C-alpha cells in the first residue's frame, strides 16, 4: 500500500513559488515602475473626486510606488527564506511581533505629510454637506501643513462660534500676521484641552480663545466621539489630571478609547475613514438635520446648560492646566470673554458667565493668560445680528472679527485689571 504524502510539508509549495519567481519575477520591476508612475500621476484625481485635477505633481511619489512594486519579489523571497530557515517554534511567536511592526509602520506612514494630506483630502472631498466632517478635515489638514512648515502667527482655538464668527483672512490682514484656525464645531473645554498637541507648533504664536459661561456649561458629560479625532497625548494628560478619581473610574472605557486615539493615528481617524470606505467614488449624501429639528435640539440644550456640576468644575480645572502648559509653549494666550444672543433663555447662563469671568480673572492674576472682558472689547451684538442663539450672522461676523483685531493690537496694559 502506498503511503499518503505528507500534506503539511511546505517544500513542494516552496519550490513552486521559487520556480515562479525565477520565471516571472522580472515582471515586477519591468511593469512596476511604469505602473507606479501612472498611479502617482492620477492619485489626486481619485482622492479629490476631480477628473480635471493636476496630474503632473506626483512623479516623485509615483517613482517611490513603482520601486515598492519592483521590490515585491525580494520581500517574497525573504518570506520563503524565513519559512525554510526558521523552525515553527520561532515562527509562531514572531508572527504577532511582525504584525505589530507592520501596523506601527503603516500608522507612521499615515502620520506623514503625504499620508495626512491624502487621507484628509479624501475625507473632505467625500464629506458632502456633513459639516462636522468638513471642519475636522480642514482642522487636520491645516495642522499637518503647520507641522511640516511651522510659521508663527495667531492661533484661533475654539468651537463653531469662532468657525462662523471670525473671518480668518480679514483678521490676518488687520493684525499683519498669519492666522491659523484650530476651531471646530463642538470644541468645548474638554475637547479643546484634549486637542492641545495641535496648538503648540511654534513658540512665537499667540493663542487666542473666546470663553464664556456657555462654554463651561455646554457639556453634560464626557463625549469620546467628539474628542477622539483631535485627541493628543499632552492634552489627554491634562484632561486626566483634572478629573477626580470617581469620574475616572466611571469613564474608564472612554479613557482607554481616547488613550488609543492619542497614540494611534488609525484609531484617532477611524470615524472619518468611513467616508472613504462608504463613498469611494462620490460624495456623501446630505444627512444634516432640517432647520426645525436643529432648532429643537438647540432649545433642548438651553435647559441642560450647566446641569452637570461635575463637568463644569472639570472644565475649569482642565482649562487651568491647559493655560499653564500652553503659556510656556507660546508667546501669549489671549482670552476674550464670549457672549451669545442677548435673548438666550434661562437664568443658568448668567450664573455660569459670572463663574467663567471669575475663573479667567484668576488665570490672569496667575499670569497664565491675558483676559479681555466684554466691556473693553468695544463690541455690540444686538439680537438682529445673530442667526440663532449662539452664532452670529454676516454683520456680526464683521464686528466680531474687528473686536478680535483690536484686542490683538492693543497692548496688555490697555486691558482693565481684575478687581
63 pLDDT above the threshold of 70: yes
The structure's pTM equals 0.78
104 pLDDT above the threshold of 70: yes
pLDDT attached to residue 73: 83
pLDDT digits (tens, 9 = 90+) for 105-162: 989 989 988 889 889 999 998 888 788 888 999 999 998 887 767 889 999 999 999 9
7 pLDDT above the threshold of 60: no
Cell numbers 469671568 correspond to what residue? 357
C-alpha cell read off for 181: 484656525
Query: What values do phi and psi take at 5, rounded to 5?
Result: -65, 145
Alpha-carbon span 185 to 8, nearest angstrom: 58
Nearest to 256 by CA among 281, 227, 290: 227
39 pLDDT above the threshold of 90: no
Is the model more confident about 152 or about 286? 152
Average pLDDT on 364-372 reads 95
Cβ proximity of 189 and 319 under 8 Å: yes
Alpha-carbon span 303 to 319, nearest angstrom: 24
Question: For the chain, which domains are there?
Answer: 11-85 (no CATH), 119-414 (3.40.50.1110)
Is the model more confident about 11 or about 226? 226
Amino acid at each position: 500500500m502506498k503511503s499518503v504524502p505528507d500534506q503539511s510539508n511546505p517544500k513542494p509549495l516552496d519550490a513552486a513559488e521559487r520556480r515562479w519567481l525565477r520565471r516571472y519575477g522580472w515582471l515586477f520591476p519591468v511593469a512596476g515602475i511604469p505602473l507606479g508612475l501612472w498611479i502617482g500621476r492620477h492619485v489626486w484625481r481619485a482622492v479629490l473626486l476631480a477628473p480635471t485635477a493636476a496630474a503632473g505633481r506626483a512623479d516623485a511619489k509615483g517613482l517611490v510606488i513603482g520601486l515598492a512594486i519592483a521590490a515585491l519579489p525580494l520581500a517574497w523571497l525573504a518570506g520563503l527564506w524565513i519559512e525554510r530557515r526558521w523552525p515553527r517554534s520561532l515562527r509562531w511567536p514572531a508572527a504577532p511581533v511582525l504584525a505589530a511592526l507592520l501596523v506601527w509602520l503603516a500608522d507612521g506612514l499615515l502620520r506623514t505629510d503625504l499620508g495626512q494630506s491624502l487621507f484628509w483630502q479624501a475625507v473632505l472631498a467625500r464629506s458632502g454637506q456633513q459639516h462636522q466632517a468638513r471642519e475636522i478635515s480642514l482642522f487636520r489638514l491645516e495642522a499637518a501643513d503647520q507641522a511640516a512648515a511651522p510659521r508663527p502667527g495667531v492661533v484661533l482655538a475654539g468651537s463653531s462660534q469662532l468657525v462662523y464668527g471670525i473671518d480668518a483672512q480679514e483678521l490676518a490682514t488687520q493684525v499683519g500676521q498669519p492666522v491659523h484656525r484650530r476651531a471646530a464645531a463642538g470644541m468645548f473645554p474638554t475637547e479643546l484641552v484634549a486637542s492641545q498637541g495641535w496648538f503648540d507648533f511654534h513658540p512665537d504664536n499667540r493663542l487666542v480663545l473666546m470663553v464664556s459661561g456657555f462654554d463651561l456649561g455646554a457639556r453634560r458629560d464626557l463625549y469620546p466621539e467628539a474628542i477622539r479625532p483631535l485627541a493628543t497625548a499632552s492634552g489627554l494628560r491634562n484632561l486626566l489630571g483634572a478629573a477626580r478619581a470617581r469620574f475616572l473610574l466611571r469613564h474608564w472605557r472612554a479613557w482607554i478609547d481616547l488613550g488609543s486615539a492619542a497614540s494611534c493615528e488609525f484609531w484617532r481617524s477611524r470615524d472619518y475613514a468611513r467616508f472613504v470606505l462608504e463613498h469611494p467614488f462620490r460624495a456623501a449624501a446630505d444627512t444634516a438635520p432640517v432647520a426645525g429639528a436643529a432648532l429643537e435640539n438647540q432649545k433642548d440644550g438651553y435647559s441642560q446648560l450647566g446641569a452637570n456640576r461635575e463637568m463644569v468644575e472639570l472644565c475649569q480645572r482642565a482649562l487651568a492646566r491647559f493655560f499653564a502648559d500652553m503659556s510656556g509653549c507660546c508667546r501669549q494666550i489671549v482670552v476674550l470673554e464670549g457672549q451669545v444672543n442677548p435673548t438666550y433663555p434661562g437664568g443658568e447662563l448668567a450664573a455660569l458667565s459670572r463663574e467663567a469671568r471669575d475663573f479667567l480673572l484668576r488665570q490672569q492674576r496667575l499670569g497664565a493668560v491675558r483676559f479681555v472682558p466684554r466691556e473693553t472689547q468695544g463690541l455690540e451684538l444686538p439680537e438682529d445680528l445673530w442667526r440663532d442663539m449662539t452664532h452670529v450672522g454676516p454683520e456680526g461676523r464683521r464686528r466680531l472679527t474687528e473686536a478680535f483685531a483690536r484686542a490683538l493690537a492693543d497692548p496688555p496694559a490697555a486691558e482693565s485689571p481684575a478687581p
